[in-house]
Amino acid sequence: MNKTVFITGTNSGFGKAMVELFATKGWNVAATVRNKSEYPDLFKAMQNVKLYELDITNYEQVDKVAIGAISDFKKIDVVVNNAAYCLMGPTETTTMEQIENQFKTNVFGLMAVSKAFIPHFRENNSGLFINFSSASARFNYPYIASYGGSKWAVRGISESLGIELKPYGIEVKTVYPGVHATKIFTKLDHGANGNDPVYIKNYKQYYANFLGAQSSVTSVTAPETVAMEVFKEASNPKGGRLNIITGGDAKMYEFMKKILPERAFQKELVNSIIKPITAGGVTMFKLILGKNIKPLYTSIPENLTK
């Protein structure tokens, strides 16, 4: 009997790459998107993929979709909590509504999906959650306090659930991706306004340096690399790694944080906003990312940087 994986947020990036890989490997895939009408042909050619409409912040809908997927496939073996987005900008100029929405999707939505499938896993005495955190939950960057904070929450949730659910045969693994060629930088919620005098006077120069560093490297690690890592872990639910750090940048900063004194590590990141990235810095970053790369697309409002 083929195994089945349930994956949230599959219209692009990691989610789409995972659906395609699992499907080609013979798994059944229950894939979700927020609005099916926007993607009428998504996975249409894949007979072992069923697409569901799901907004993970709609908790009633989460429960209904989970029940529907279990009914359709009889047994779900793996749930991949991938759906998320990034809020970026100075905390001072970010609204509390934006911060709340960030946590509602990245944390509460993930918790809702997990809660919806725990009874099914418990009754089967088996099951695996693979939660997408971020490299920013191993160390955090400037200007993503809310996004990084939400991903640190995912890290904590995963570690706690991994212990809490172990007696019922349920495993929890966590993925910490660095910068990859997803569309996350084209869907940013900016906590900054180019017309805000507070932003212009106090933050624009530093934020422009930070954004310039993000967009200076035009090709980064392909999302298919992460999809393969997830597939390996899904295929070995009782073994393998509990924490999967992916991407050259994530591994580099993970290593740096271990060997550098706290203030020295902080200084490295402060320098990344004080000064524009150099040509040498771009070259080094390219070498760290390796060869399995794809174009990185960004969409930054011009009035934030010019």
Give the C-alpha separation, 261 to 132, whole Å.
28
Whole-number pLDDT of residue 21:
98
Active site residues: 133, 147, 151
Give the C-alpha separation, 276 to 235, whole Å.
43
Q: Is the dihedral of CA 295, 296, 301, 306 positive or negative?
A: negative
What residues make up the domain containing 293?
A: 4-304
**Pairing of the two strands 219-221 and 293-295:** antiparallel
Whole-number pLDDT of residue 306:
82
- Tell the burial category of 111 from Cβ atoms under 10 Å away from its Cβ (0-12, 13-18, 19+): middle
pTM recorded for the entire structure: 0.93
Q: What is the amino acid identity at position 28?
A: N
* CATH code for the domain of 252: 3.40.50.720
Whole-number pLDDT of residue 27:
98
Give the C-alpha separation, 237 to 141, whole Å.
31
What is the number of structural domains in the chain? Answer: 1
Whole-number pLDDT of residue 290:
66
What is the mean pLDDT for each group of 10 consecutive residues in the chain (306 residues)?
Answer: 94 96 98 96 96 98 98 98 96 98 98 98 98 96 96 98 98 93 79 93 93 75 91 97 92 92 94 85 72 72 84
